[in-house]
Amino acid sequence: MARNPMISGFTTNPTLMKKAGVKDYKSFAIEVLREITDKPISFEVFSDDFDEMESQALEIASWGKNVFVKIPITNTKGESSASLVRKLAGKGVKVNVTAMMTLQQVREVVPGLVRGPGGYVSVFAGRIADSGREPVPAMQEIVEYLKPHPTVELIWASPREVLNIVQADSIGCHIITVTNDLIHKMSLFGKDLNEFSLDTVKMFYNDAMSAGYRLETQR
C-alpha cells in the first residue's frame, strides 16, 4: 500500500489494531515505521487520563518524524481534550484529533492545533451518516472554517462507500481515509451502467450454478 502513489498516508486506532490481532502496540508501530518513512502515519493514545495521555503522546511522537499522535476529542467521561491538544501542539507534537462529529468540536481544538507544527482534525462523516444525517453540509462547513488555518487539514473519516470519495473531493476536503475494499471499488468509477447491470446478472447466475441450486418445475 505504501508503494501505491495514490496513498498519501496511513492511520490506525486501538480498535483496528485489536481486530488485526496486534499484541504489542509499540513493536507493531516501530515495525511499520521502519518500512514507511516518507508518509505520515497516525497512532492513537489509549489512556483515559489526560496526564497519561500526554505521556503516551510524547512517547508515540518520539517514534518517528512522520508520526502524528491521535488524541480523542474527549475522554470517556466526555471531558474535552482541547487543553491537552494545545499543550502537545505547543511542544511540537503533530496531533490528529479524532472521533469528532461536529463543527463545534473542531472549533474547540483548532486554536490549539495552530500553535504546533501542523495537525489533522478527523471528522467521522460515516458515523454522522449512520445517525441518519447527511454529512456533506457539515463537512463543507468545516472545510470553510479551516481555510484561514492552512496548517490544519480535515480528514473525512469512516467512509461507507466510494461515493464518499467523490463527495470529499467535491467539497475540497483535504484527506479521506479509505479501506482496501473501497480502493478496489474505485476501479468502477465511470463504469457504464448497462454493462454493470449485465455483470450483476452474470454474477447472480454464476453463483446459483456454482452453488448447485436446483428447482423442480412443472409446465
Catalytic residues: 70
Instruction: Name the DSSP class of 82.
Output: H
Q: Which cell is 126 given?
A: 460515516
At which residue does the C-alpha cell 471499488 appear?
A: 185
- Three-state DSSP class for residue 101: coil
- Three-state DSSP class for residue 126: helix
Q: Which cell is 43 given?
A: 497512532
**Cα–Cα distance, 186 to 168 (Å, whole number):** 14
Q: How many CB atoms neighbour CB 9 within 10 A?
A: 18
Contacts with 179 (C-beta within 8 Å, 6 or more apart), sequence order: 159
Dihedral of the alpha carbons of 116, 142, 103, 86, in degrees to the nearest 10: 0
